[in-house]
Structure 1
Amino acid sequence: MDFDYDLFVIGGGSGGVRAARLTAADGKKVAMAEEFRMGGTCVIRGCVPKKLMVFASHYSDYAEEAGTYGWDITLGDFNWPSFQKRLHAELSRLEAIYTRNADTAGVEILHQRATVKDPHTVVLADGTEKTTKHILVAVGGTPFVPDTVPGIEHAITSNEIFDIPALPKKILIVGGGYIACEFACIFNGLGSEVTQYYRGAQILRGFDDEARGHIAELITGQGINLHVGTDVERLEKRDDGIWVKATDGRETLFDVVLYATGRTPNTKGLGLEDAGVELGRHGEIKVDAYSQTNIPSIYAVGDVTDRIQLTPVAIREAVAFHETVFKGNPMKPDHSNVPSAIFTQPEYGAVGLTEEQAREEGPIEVYCAAFRPMQNAFIEKNERVMFKLIVCATSRKVLGCHIIAPHAGELIQIAGVAVKMGATKEDFDATVAVHPTMAEEIVLMKTPTRVHN
């Protein structure tokens, strides 16, 4: 059978674009449909704009510290419209690069929604049907908002946060995951009064318990009104803001209510069920180790599969897909020891197992140090950093590394190499410290703080 394309990609994010570019560069006929903007969540309304807001939010703290260090600095209010204009210009620039790179590789870009009709047919929003030998679904995720909360239509999500018309004086952030915690720190740094509700007992569920507690203490100390065990009962739009009643009975007015209560795979209305594709209970596309669904011609990569929701992982999955399907080189994406960073203030970088996970696997030693780094101690700032290594008691391999410190995202990238290579605690000990730095602590911790047999 002759097909219109060798590969049809649904979704123009990092994973989809990488797969499409590689396949088209190999001389295959490739099309890509993107209904919103090229670049996907990461570039347009995720990692990139968020990190730029993180950068902006740091300067208030920098200015305060500079004064203590002897600089005569007076900082005015944050100019949200000025920043927002520059932010949108940067996102447009990046979107153009994504589009140009795909186009240069030979990908036919269709700026409209596409759904799956059957294992070899997709339908465009204008009704056009296209046939293809392979379909790759890379539509990512979408923010989850509970529809059972009265007045929820007055809240926004991380999709809309970059487009708010003014910097809120008072903002409520609902959620306890990394997105909620990051935006709490961002708006606190920009000068907003920040309240955060999380219905669970502690923020950052799924991360290392000791690190979770450390970050909760830090952000509370920075002035974020964190309330765990608390949720929203209902919201009302009023003349002077959004009235929120919490489950603990408190009633408060906010300028903006941001829901950051998780993300779900963006598969609704995509036609996958009709095509026979098996989905999980949260709408995620079920795939095997090679990103193939139960329908042999249909594959999926990235957040839509709900494996590890990180942009670099989606790109690795896309490369493995291309190698497997079009290069005759079966390749499984490696999901072990993937480093990650949470851009709170300070940041949290992690790779490998948490202490709780490692205890389930066998006897371990835990090395942990929390201290005031030189930069803070000099100005009598009480904020502490934390370095933690989790070590297998038998093999001596470092199973997990957790860092809470300024630029922890940069530090964990380097530490991640060592953990991925299987470095032992003795390898860390044998490495000469770089002095004076915070990070030297990672090779200076000699005595376990805890031992679990």
Structure 2
Amino acid sequence: MNASDVIVIGAGPSGVIAALRAAELGARTTLVTRSEFGGMAANDGPVPVRTLAQAARLLRGARTLDRFGISVGTPVLDYSRLLERVRIVVEETRCHSAFRSEIDRLGVTLIEHAGDARFVDAHTIETQSGLQMQAEKIILCAGGTSRRLSVPGAELTATHSDAWALKEIPRSILVIGGGMTGAQVASIFHAFGSRILLFQRAARILPDEDEDVSTAVATAFRDAGMVVRESFGDIDSFERTSSGVRMNFSRGAEQESVHAELIVLAIGWVADVRGLNLPAAGVQTDARGYIAVDASQRTSTSHIFAAGDITGRWMLVPQAIQDGWVAATNAVRGTFEVLDNVVCPTGGFTDPEYASVGLTERQARESHDVVSAVVRFDATTRTIIDDRTAGFCKLLVERGTRQILGCHVVGERAVEIVQIVAVVMSSRLRVDELVRVPLSFPTYTGILARTAYRAVDQLGLPARWIPT
């Protein structure tokens, strides 16, 4: 039986960072993964998704080349070749990631393709491949899995993972769920030529985003030809047809149905605790089925920690990385370190892109005296040059402190623009200080300088003008 100081289960972002941190602190560390190194992020999440999104972006760009005097034929997608590109990108990310080299350098024992891991007791782990291991501390980073429905015919539906693994482009796709994942599936396959129907049970798609972001993205989707339907009601059943799948649904007494060649569920993410045998270790889950942890990432069993999607706290890569670092630090050192006031930028690689950091306008106005400054993408130089004039940048600033409370962007390079604001917020730079930073011209981040200037003007403060 192998013995370690720390066993980390799951080699996604939180697990890899937890293993690196534990080894860095001197612990004999074993990292166990069900399948491949990199977890969902590298193999079924941001890496393959962003690769497909890049292909969609290139297709859209090719269709507008004539605006710059470039004549080419009609772009045609060879989906099998694109999937090969996705496979290559995933493999290169897995093999050449700096994290993988650090795992080797720090002497972490990596066990891949171990199958499901389960607790035998609170200090012993047994893998599906038959390996038994013991450790003083255990960190659970097994991630999450797509939420499924329990209505009749639900087995006829697919998940986002199935969508990425398609061998050819469906003629039509019904995407159920208008959050980040559903919006990305819809946007990517629309660019590939599928007829898209995006159904959202809530009153708006991207319900966690600022309302202006949700409205702008929904409008752009509809203008592009997608069917976007919010507040559609309750799903009653699915049934197979000769050309796909039909969803039967109802709202009150009114019953309807909709048909597509493929139906993709994107209705949420649940903790992947299958087979872990948590009761054997005394590890408790919360009411939603996620592993319950305190602020220091400890579970109900004091020497067992959890981080990342399995805790249900953020479900995003950057935050999973931070959780893994905290969990490993506390596991090895026996401390109760926590991360306070973490700035968490998020975004989706849709068309148009969107991204946010901090409070939405509704949240900010509940407890702050807020200045809201907005600049549209058709009012800045670089966006006009690149013919990417759809979108806006919004800054929310507290009047008294001049601190940025939130930023929301829809449009080209939105995700990159918001990263700058995350740094500004983390460093507590005031908006009147930000406006004095001489950003390069002409750039997409120029819209941020322009929006900061507008906020400063609304505050009645003097500011240096930066042309953008």
Question: Which residue is equivalent to 2:71?
Answer: 72
**Contact in 2 for aligned 1:302/1:313 (Cα 8 Å):** yes
| Structure-2 change in CA distance of 1:335 and 1:120 (3 Å) | farther
Conserved? CA contact 2:175–2:198, under 8 Å = yes
Deviation string 1:113-149 (CA, Å, 9 cap, x unpaired) is 211233212222245432210010001111112112x
Query: How do residues 380-419 of structure 1 correspond to structure 2 at under 5 angstroms?
Result: 384-419=390-425
Superposition TM-score, scaled by structure 1 size: 0.91
Segment drifting more, 8-17 vs 328-337: 328-337
1:445 aligned partner, one-letter code: R
Partner of 1:123: 126
Q: CA 1:385–1:127 in structure 2 vs 1: closer, same or farther (change >3 Å)?
A: same
- The alignment partner of 2:158 has SS state of coil
| Structure 2 CA distance for partners of 1:394 and 1:100, relative to 1, 3 Å | closer
Q: Is the 8 A contact 1:208 1:354 kept in 2?
A: yes
Q: By how many angstroms is 1:252 displaced?
A: 3.8
Aligned to 1:285: 291
**1:180-218 superposed Cα distances (whole Å, 9 cap, x missing partner):** 111111111112111101111101112111221121111
Question: Shift in Å at residue 362 of structure 1?
Answer: 2.5
Give the match's secondary structure for 1:200. Answer: coil
Of stretches 402-411 and 435-444 in structure 1, the one that deviates more from structure 2 is 435-444
What does the per-residue CA deviation read over 1:89-126, in whole Å, with 9 as the maximum and x for residues that have no partner? 32233333466653453233333221123321222224
Alignment-derived partner of residue 170 in structure 1: 172
> Which residue pairs with 2:80 in the alignment?
81
The alpha-carbon deviation at position 316 of structure 1 amounts to 1.8
The 1:324/1:69 distance shift into structure 2, 3 A limit, reads same
Partner of 1:53: 52
Match of 2:158 in 1: 156
The equivalent residue for 1:336 is 342
5+ long unaligned stretches in structure 1: none
Question: Which residue number in structure 1 is paired with residue 36 of structure 2?
Answer: 37
2:466 is matched with none
**Partner Cα separation in structure 1 for residue 102 and residue 383 of structure 2:** 44
Say if 1:392 and 1:325 are closer, same or farther in 2 by CA, change over 3 A: same
User: Secondary structure of the residue that 1:32 maps to in structure 2?
Assistant: strand
Give the structure 1 partner of residue 465 of structure 2: none
1:17 paired residue number: 16
CA RMSD of aligned residues (A): 2.5
Question: What is the identity, as a one-letter code, of the residue corresponding to 1:443?
Answer: A
Cα distance, 1:265 vs structure 2: 1.2
Measured after TM superposition, the shift of residue 153 of structure 1 is 0.9
Q: Matched residues in 2 for 1:408 and 1:371: separation?
A: 11
Partner Cα distance (2:148, 2:261) in 1: 19
What 5-or-longer segments of structure 2 have no aligned partner?
460-468
1:370 Cα deviation after fit:
3.1
Shift of 1:179: 0.7
Label 1:431 to 1:443 Cα distance change in 2 as closer, same or farther (>3 A).
farther
Q: Match for residue 442 of structure 1?
A: 451
Q: State the SS of the aligned residue for 2:409.
A: strand
Partners of 1:89 and 1:429 in 2: CA distance: 42
Q: Quick one: distance in 1 between partners of 2:383 and 2:94?
A: 39
2:108 alignment counterpart: 107
The 5 A counterparts of 1:204-353 are 204-230=206-232, 232-247=235-250, 249-327=255-333, 331-334=337-340, 336-353=342-359
Q: 2:30 touches 2:108 (CA, 8 Å); kept in 1? A: yes
**Alignment partners' CA distance in 2, 1:441 and 1:226:** 32
**1:238 Cα deviation from its structure 2 partner:** 2.4
Percent identity between the aligned chains? 26
Shift of 1:298: 0.1
1:186 to 175, 188, 192: 188
Give the aligned residue type for 1:107.
Answer: V
TM-score (norm 2): 0.88
- Alignment of 1:365 with 2:371, yes or no, is yes
Mapped to 2, the partners of 1:160 and 1:109 lie a distance apart of 28
- The C-alpha deviation readout for 1:62-106, integer Å capped at 9, x for no partner, is 122211222112223211101101211322333334666534532
Q: SS of 1:338's equivalent?
A: coil
Deviation at 1:26, TM superposition (A): 4.8
How much has 1:29 moved relative to structure 2?
Answer: 2.3
CA distance in 2, matches of 1:290, 1:25: 19
Change (3 A) 1:185 1:126: closer
1:386-438 deviations in Å (ceiling 9; x for gaps): 11111112212111111112011111111211111222232234345655455
- Say if 2:382 and 2:442, in contact at 8 Å, map to a contact too: no
How has the CA–CA distance of structure 1 residues 424 and 380 changed in structure 2, closer, same or farther, with 3 Å as cutoff? closer
Match of 2:200 in 1: 198
Cα 1:328–1:378 shift into 2, 3 Å: closer
CA gap 1:279/1:329 in 2 versus in 1, 3 angstroms: closer
What is the CA-CA distance between 1:52 and the residue it aligns to?
0.5
Give me the whole-angstrom Cα distance separating, in 1, the residues matched to 2:300 and 2:372. 42
Say which of 138, 149, 164 aligns to 2:141.
138
Residue-by-residue CA offset, 1:318-342 (whole Å, 9 max, x unaligned)? 2223333325665323452211112
Structure 1 contact 10–138 (Cα < 8 Å) conserved: yes
Contact 1:141–1:264 (8 Å) recurs in 2: yes
Counterpart-to-counterpart distance in 1, 2:277 and 2:400: 50
Judge conservation of contact 1:397–1:424 (CA < 8 Å) in 2: yes
Q: Which moved more, 1:435-444 or 1:335-344?
A: 435-444
| Cα distance in 2, alignment partners of residues 368 and 203 from structure 1 | 21
Cα distance, 1:315 vs structure 2: 1.5
Mapped to 2, the partners of 1:369 and 1:410 lie a distance apart of 17
Q: Structure 1 residue 253: deviation in Å?
A: 3.3
Question: Aligned partners of 1:279 and 1:345: how far apart in 2?
Answer: 37
